């Protein structure tokens, strides 16, 4: 059974940085893609970034490509999302997810999801 556990969320002042972690377990992840999504109350869950476990190829939403960086540590089965220059509008619950195939930016192509971690940007 695949398990994804996010951590690293919290309260951060606007302009600050935060690094989210997603520890994955339960199967071999090589050859597949891990992604980060965000969701505000009452809104659709939206794509932030994704990374291929094998090649390290990365994918970003336009809103994330200048400030966020996704990386992975294959030995630890952990994916990270480093967020810089945080804004108050980055306040959301952030989820990591794992897909077996499909479009890395499409949430419906992800099969497994973590429980989410809250990120709050304060002014």
pLDDT in tens, 71-114: 999 999 999 999 999 999 999 999 999 999 999 999 999 999 99
Q: Cα(58)–Cα(29) distance, rounded to whole angstroms?
A: 15
Burial of 78-96, coded b for 16+ CB within 10 Å and e otherwise, reads bbbbebeebeeebbbbbbb
Q: How many residues does the chain have?
A: 123
Closest alpha carbon to 44 in 101, 106, 87, 100: 106
The mean of the pLDDT values for the chain is 95
Does 118 score more than 90 pLDDT?
Answer: yes
Q: Cα(28)–Cα(47) distance, rounded to whole angstroms?
A: 23
78 pairs with which residues across the strands? 23, 73
Does 123 score more than 90 pLDDT?
Answer: no
Calculate the CA dihedral of residues 50, 45, 62, 36 and round it to 10 degrees.
Answer: -20
pLDDT, tens digit, 9 for 90 and up, residues 1-60: 899 999 999 999 999 999 999 999 998 888 899 999 999 999 999 999 999 999 999 999
Q: What is the pLDDT of residue 31?
A: 82
């Amino acid at each position: 059974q695949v398990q994804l556990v996010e951590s690293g969320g919290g309260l951060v002042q606007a302009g600050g940085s935060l690094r989210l972690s997603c520890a994955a377990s339960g199967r071999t992840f090589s050859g597949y893609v891990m992604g980060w999504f965000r969701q505000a109350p009452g809104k659709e869950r939206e794509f932030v970034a994704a990374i291929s476990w094998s090649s390290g190829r990365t994918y970003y939403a336009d809103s994330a490509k200048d400030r966020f960086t996704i990386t992975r540590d294959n030995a630890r089965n952990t994916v990270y999302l480093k967020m810089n220059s945080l804004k108050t509008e980055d306040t959301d619950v952030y989820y990591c997810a794992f897909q077996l195939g499909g479009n890395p930016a499409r949430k419906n192509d992800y099969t497994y999801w973590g429980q989410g971690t809250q990120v709050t940007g304060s002014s």
